[in-house]
Amino acid sequence: MKQEEKSIIIDAIAKDLADYPHVYITDISGFTVDTVNQLRRQCYRRNIKLKVVKNTLLKRAMEQSSVDYSEIYPALKGVSSIMLSDTGNAPAKLIKEFRVKNKKPLVKAAFIEECTYFGDDQLDYLCAIKSREELIGELVGLLQSPARNVISALQSGGGKLAGIVKTLSER
């Protein structure tokens, strides 16, 4: 491969890294073309970008990035593919579901919210990470809960108070 071709590929990978905040480095070696196509379709449905990359080109693209990916470099060995997503736990959930019928993909490393996770044993933890939207939803629910309690207490108390006043006025 010529240097110009390599630089074009590196720039494309660097652009993808800049566009997506969450990066998973996975191993999909040994997959048949049909299995890879199934995985790509599922990734596409969930807005996850899947790319098979050369480790050296990925490392150079990461070095160009403004984000410090240096902790991930040890995972760049063997056959690698990257899964890029806007949601931190979406690739982990997809991998877990896909592994019901397949032994892979294996998680080599993940970079989520400026934290690095290594190894396939982290998959359950990565699935449990809440997305930004889920956290905002929980926060809104927690903030609404005390207000609902106060309003319901006032409404129920108002009915009791009206009943007491009515009973006293009849006497």
When pLDDT is cut at 50, 70 and 90, the band that residue 25 belongs to is very high
If we measure between CA atoms, which residue out of 97, 93, 103, 101 comes closest to residue 125? 93
Tokens representing residue 104 in the block: 């892979």
Spatial contact of 17 and 84, defined as CB atoms under 8 Å apart = yes
The span from the CA of 36 to the CA of 148, in Å, is 49
Distance of CA 137 to the CA centre of its chain: 16
Q: Which residues pair with 110 in a beta bridge?
A: 24, 117
CB-neighbour burial class of residue 65 (10 A; exposed 0-12, middle 13-18, buried 19+): middle
At residue 160, the pLDDT reads: 65
**Amino acid (one-letter) located at 33:** V
**Amino acid (one-letter) located at 54:** K
- For residue 88, which phi and psi values (nearest 5 degrees)? -65, -35
Q: Over the stretch 107-166, which tens digit does the pLDDT of each residue have?
A: 899 998 788 888 888 888 888 887 777 778 878 877 777 766 666 666 666 566 666 667
Spatial contact of 84 and 19, defined as CB atoms under 8 Å apart = yes
Rg for the chain, CA atoms, rounded: 25
Percent of the chain with pLDDT over 90: 11
Q: Which of 65-79, 90-104, 127-141 has the lowest mean pLDDT?
A: 127-141
Helices (H) and strands (E) counted in the chain, each on its own, are 6, 5
The span from the CA of 92 to the CA of 129, in Å, is 9
Q: pTM of the prediction?
A: 0.74
